[in-house]
């Protein structure tokens, strides 16, 4: 399964061979006449190439580019020196522009991707991609393969090979930190020993802070866990040399809102509940004094219902917010923290929150926080999320806050949690 966009990516990297030059001037040599003399394999190397392709036609006989022009400081035709028919390297001085009709061929990845037995006018997609599909198996634990996953796998293997080669690459303080971190992540013995301790510690710290009656204090305490908003640093679109704070609605646990609101994904919601039950079971085992997690079916189900209820409410907000596909910035606004506080989001004390989470030097540079500008993404959704957090019943809200902490860290815990892994969904609702 590859999408249109990925299959099209192959085209810009095609090599082109000049077949005849309509407008070639007297002093230049047609590339075709050079190629006619060459036997065996050859390479053409061009330096500093600029290529303009105003028109491209794909037909049974090949891919045709009309009136394309190629400009290069130099082109070399190099015959494979092992070939019996040797021809010395040939340089075409071509600082000028060539125009004419060009044919594309001899591009192995494209040749193997195209299935010339098919009629492109009947099914262009299969004509271009059938071969690619045959050469790229979908892995057993994946649901799709495309140019991006192929490149991604390649890069992951390269990173893996670097991370497993400490002796070869560990040369300075930064690489030492990097390798230390990688090795501690890979140390399953210490992870097993820690169990879910890290989360129980956070929950315990929160329980002991008697001053956490306000949402802002809770957010400060659990930072970088967030609730309905994600805070990031983005370039200021009015002056990209400057950075600014951006506030946007957080994404749903399952990614797409469709999982929560469409009947056809009911099985996915059931799979999610099974996973959450397993996670709670491990917490119940680890919470020896039963300080946070009672071994009670009623409590387990209540916690899960709370999570699903809030996530579904957020999904409905996403579903019912105008998506502005034509202009992704249409729903955005740049406001001061003062305006954010008074006009958009009242449930959090933003000045106090920022004052606690920003580094000292940022606070010093910003000065008066209430005057700092913030880029707010999808105002409409943020206003609806505000209303949601004001109207949620206390217990539901409290359960949801705990889930935010648990799910934020659960991916880093011991193998029980990894084995219980929620297998992401087989069907992508966007496709």
Ligand X SMILES: *[C@@H]1O[C@H](CO)[C@@H](O)[C@H](O)[C@H]1NC(C)=O
The contact set with ligand X (CB under 6 A) reads 22-23, 37, 39, 48, 73-74, 80, 82, 85, 87, 93, 95, 99, 161, 164-165, 168, 188, 209, 211, 217, 220, 261, 284-285, 295, 316, 319-320, 335, 339, 341, 343, 349, 351-352, 415
What distance in Å separates the CA atoms of residue 218 and residue 56, rounded to the nearest whole number? Answer: 59
| Smallest separation, CB 73 to ligand X (Å) | 4
Report whether 226 contacts 219 (CB < 8 A): yes
CA–CA distances in Å: residue 295 to residues 143, 150, 281, 289: 37, 45, 8, 11
Query: Across the beta sheet with 229-236, what order do the strands follow?
Result: 229-236, 239-249, 373-376, 333-336
Residue 67 gets the label, from left (phi > 0), alpha (psi -120 to 50) or beta, of left
Report whether 37 contacts 117 (CB < 8 A): no
| Smallest separation, CB 343 to ligand X (Å) | 4
Contacts of 306 (CB under 8 A, 6+ apart): 395, 396, 399, 400, 403
Query: In terms of CB distance, is 230 or 343 closer to ligand X?
Result: 343
| Smallest separation, CB 375 to ligand X (Å) | 13
Query: In terms of CB distance, is 6 or 312 closer to ligand X?
Result: 312
Query: In terms of CB distance, is 170 or 316 closer to ligand X?
Result: 316
Tell me the two tokens of residue 125. Answer: 């997609």
R_g of the chain, CA atoms, integer Å: 30
| Smallest separation, CB 241 to ligand X (Å) | 24
| Smallest separation, CB 37 to ligand X (Å) | 5
Query: In terms of CB distance, is 106 or 119 closer to ligand X?
Result: 106
Query: In terms of CB distance, is 128 or 254 closer to ligand X?
Result: 254
What distance in Å separates the CA atoms of residue 412 and residue 414, rounded to the nearest whole number? Answer: 7
Query: In terms of CB distance, is 130 or 352 closer to ligand X?
Result: 352
Q: Which of 323, 317, 329 is nearest to 250 (CA)?
A: 317
| Smallest separation, CB 12 to ligand X (Å) | 19
| Smallest separation, CB 342 to ligand X (Å) | 6
43: phi then psi, degrees, rounded to nearest 5? -130, 150
Query: In terms of CB distance, is 28 or 351 closer to ligand X?
Result: 351
């Amino acid at each position: 399964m590859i999408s249109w966009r990925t299959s099209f990516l192959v085209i810009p990297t095609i090599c082109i061979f000049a077949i005849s030059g309509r407008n070639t001037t007297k002093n230049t040599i047609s590339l075709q006449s050079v190629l006619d003399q060459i036997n065996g394999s050859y390479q053409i190397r061009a330096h500093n190439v600029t290529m303009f392709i105003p028109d491209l036609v794909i037909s049974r006989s090949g891919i045709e580019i009309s009136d394309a022009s190629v400009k290069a400081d130099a082109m070399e035709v190099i015959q494979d020196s092992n070939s019996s028919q040797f021809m010395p390297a040939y340089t075409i001085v071509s600082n000028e522009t060539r125009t004419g009709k060009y044919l594309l061929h001899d591009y192995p990845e494209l040749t193997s991707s195209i299935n010339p037995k098919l009629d492109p006018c009947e099914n262009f997609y299969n004509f271009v991609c059938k071969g690619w599909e045959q050469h790229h198996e979908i892995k057993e634990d994946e649901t799709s393969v495309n140019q991006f996953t192929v490149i991604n796998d390649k890069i992951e293997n390269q990173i893996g090979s670097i991370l497993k080669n400490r002796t070869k690459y560990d040369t300075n303080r930064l690489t030492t930190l990097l390798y230390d971190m990688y090795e501690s992540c890979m140390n399953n013995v210490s992870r097993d020993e820690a169990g879910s301790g890290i989360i129980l510690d956070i929950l315990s710290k929160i329980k002991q802070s008697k001053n956490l009656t306000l949402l802002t204090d809770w957010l400060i305490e659990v930072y970088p866990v967030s609730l309905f908003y994600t805070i990031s640093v983005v370039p200021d679109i009015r002056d990209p040399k400057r950075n600014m704070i951006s506030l946007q609605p957080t994404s749903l646990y399952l990614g797409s809102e469709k999982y929560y609101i469409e009947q056809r994904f009911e099985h996915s919601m059931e799979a999610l509940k099974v996973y959450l039950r397993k996670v709670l079971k491990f917490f119940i085992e680890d919470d020896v004094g039963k300080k946070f997690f009672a071994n009670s079916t009623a409590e387990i189900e209540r916690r899960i219902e709370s999570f699903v209820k809030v996530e579904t409410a957020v999904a409905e907000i996403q579903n019912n917010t105008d998506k502005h596909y034509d202009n992704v910035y249409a729903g955005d606004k740049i406001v001061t923290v003062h305006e954010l506080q008074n006009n958009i989001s009242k449930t959090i004390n933003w000045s106090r929150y920022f004052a606690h989470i920003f580094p000292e030097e940022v606070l010093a540079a910003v000065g008066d926080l209430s005057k700092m500008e913030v880029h707010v993404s999808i105002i409409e959704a943020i206003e609806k999320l505000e209303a949601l957090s004001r109207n949620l019943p206390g217990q539901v809200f409290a359960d949801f806050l705990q889930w935010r902490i648990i799910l934020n860290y659960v991916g880093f815990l011991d193998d029980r949690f990894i084995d219980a892994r929620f297998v992401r969904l087989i069907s992508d609702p966007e496709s």
